[in-house]
Amino acid sequence: MGQQFGRRSWAEPWKIKMVEPLTMTSRAQRERALAEAGCNTFLLRSDDVYIDLLTDSGTSAMSDRQWAGMMVGDESYAGSRNFYHLEAAIQRYYGYRHVVPTHQGRGAEHLISRVAIRPGQWVPGNMYFTTTRAHQEQAGGQFIDVIIDEAHDPSSPHPFKGNIDLAKLEALIAREGAEGIAYVSVAGTVNMAGGQPVSMTNIKAVRALCDRHGIKVYLDATRMAENAFFIQEREEGYANRPIAEILREFCSYTDAAWMSAKKDSLVNIGGWLAVNDLGLFEELRNLVVLYEGLHTYGGLAGRDMEAMAIGIEESLQDDYMRSRIGQVRYLGELLADWDIPIVQPVGGHAVFLDARAFYPHLPQAHFPAQVLAAELYLDSGIRAMERGIASAGRDPATGDHHYPRLELTRLTIPRRVYTQAHMDVVAESVKCVWDARGAARGLHMVYEPRYLRFFQARFEWRDRSTGSRTGQEAASHPHPAAEPAPV
């Protein structure tokens, strides 16, 4: 087989045992549904969606072994045996000493941010993630982006666009001192950059730099198994090392990790924190009782922890990962063959469409990536997600929009759920939307929630000829959107 990806090399190492019917909709139904959803794909009912590429989070198909694991859930309030299975799997595959379960990733982010950030401290990271940054800011921290510049360029072919720029990190340390930095927040693969990996060389160098200054390195391990695949594929010396080993080596250069197990670990709910430092662990284990649940369930049922323990092991099988990334890449290659602008190289969990290149006639304040997600839904019932100005939110200090360089629409591929034929259908729909791109109108936001606005914001179409808000739309929504939100 070798490491070469071709269209014949990555057939899934599983077959289908149970199917779930999909909903087929008409254009008229979709127009109605999108209007009801305020042109926000997060507000659609899943019954109105055909192929759901909103997210890879909690949308995986579990295996028969995981379902069997659900049947041996030990639902004891304290000391569930499934917790010990989970703890052992994390210790074995991720390598950290102490484990605290949480209901999902943001539960873990909340706890680690509260414990590890003092108000006013900086949290440098390889690009922001929405929930991660929100919790860092809630704890009084200030996020600062120290990813390499290539990450902000959709067409840069850099093989490790998730890397931290050591010069940027060093400059921050020189300016603020080690005391002014809570920890370095590293995510593997970087979601908002397009699912782009961090190299082993880079994490080693980050570790060495942080050691010189006594700064901790904490890992968002949410898609770190997928990151390990890219190291195996692209980094010298790793081609013959199993993904599981690469993952463990990478984690060994970090002090702690948090996890949304809803991604890599092939479960529908779950997360954890894992740390090496006993003092930090004791604080986290105490705090989890306040916000999530006792430290041996953290907001999860015993059966969820069992499915997670099994999912961790399945997620690190090389054949599985080859098919996983292969499917995402298959979709990316179909689009690239039609010269449709996508983030290159294709990342781990999704194909990201470059909405700026789709709609150069739309200013960023007209939400081009949201427009693209809406148009795609109207065309075929495929649900994608905005990853641009709406997701970026506002600067807590000034109240202004963040204007990210990347204005992307994410076609996120759930794990073990859709077939290659679905990918063909998706590509053809994107092509139709691409061909009609010149006629697209912008959106304006008519309702803006305070926190993580992209989840619940509502939009309306702008006037086709002038790009301004239509009188009727503005009048029908007396609540303007532009109140500055602190987060």
Interface ranges with ligand F0G (CB under 6 A): 55, 57, 104-106, 129, 131-132, 187, 191, 220, 222, 260, 262, 271
381-412 residues labelled b (16+ CB within 10 A) or e (exposed)? bbbbbbbbbbbbbbebeeeebeebebbbbbbb
- Would you call 262 a catalytic residue per the annotation? no
**CA-to-CA dists, residue 168 to 145, 219, 253, 382, angstroms:** 9, 18, 20, 39
User: Contact at 8 Å (CB) between 256 and 277?
Assistant: yes
Q: Cα separation of 426 and 379, whole Å?
A: 10
Write down the catalytic residue from 25, 41, 130, 132: 130
Structural contact between residues 184 and 112, judged by C-beta atoms closer than 8 angstroms: no
**Which one is catalytic: 207, 263, 324, 410?**
263
Task: Let me know if 435 is a catalytic residue.
Answer: no
DSSP assigned state of 99: E
Cβ 223 to ligand F0G shortest distance, Å:
6
Q: Minimum distance from CB of 63 to ligand F0G (Å)?
A: 20
Cα 317 to Cα 306, 313, 441, distances in angstroms: 18, 7, 45
CB of 107 to ligand F0G, least distance (A): 7
Catalytic residue among 48, 52, 165, 220: 220
- Indicate the residue whose CB is closest to ligand F0G: 105
**Which member of 30, 133, 356, 387 is catalytic?**
387
Active site residue: 454, 459, 462, 469, which one? 454
Minimum CB distance to ligand F0G, residue 100 (Å): 15
- Based on the residue annotation, tell me whether 220 is a catalytic residue of this protein: yes
Based on the residue annotation, tell me whether 339 is a catalytic residue of this protein.
no
Least distance from C-beta 104 to ligand F0G, angstroms?
3
Beta bridge partners of 352: 410
DSSP state of 447: E
Question: Whose Cβ is closer to ligand F0G: residue 99's or residue 187's?
Answer: 187
3-state DSSP of 21-76? CCCCCCHHHHHHHHHHCCCCHHHCCHHHCCCECCCCCCCCCCCHHHHHHHCCCCCC
Spatial distance between the Cα atoms of 117 and 180, rounded to a whole number of angstroms: 10
Closer to ligand F0G by Cβ: residue 109 or 314: 109
Cβ-based burial of 325 (10 A; exposed 0-12, middle 13-18, buried ≥19): buried
How many other C-beta atoms lie within 10 A of the C-beta of residue 277?
15
Tell the smallest beta-carbon distance from residue 455 to ligand F0G (Å): 9
Is 143 or 461 the residue whose CB approaches ligand F0G more closely?
143
**3-class SS at 262?**
coil
Q: Which of 129/377 has CB closer to ligand F0G?
A: 129
> Cβ neighbours of residue 370 under 8 Å, at least 6 residues apart?
39, 40, 386, 388, 390, 443, 459
- Tell me the C-alpha distance between 32 and 476, whole Å: 17
Annotation marks residue 130 as catalytic:
yes
Given the complex with ligand F0G, which of 305 and 446 has the nearer CB atom?
Answer: 305
- List residues with catalytic annotation: 77, 129-130, 220, 263, 387, 454
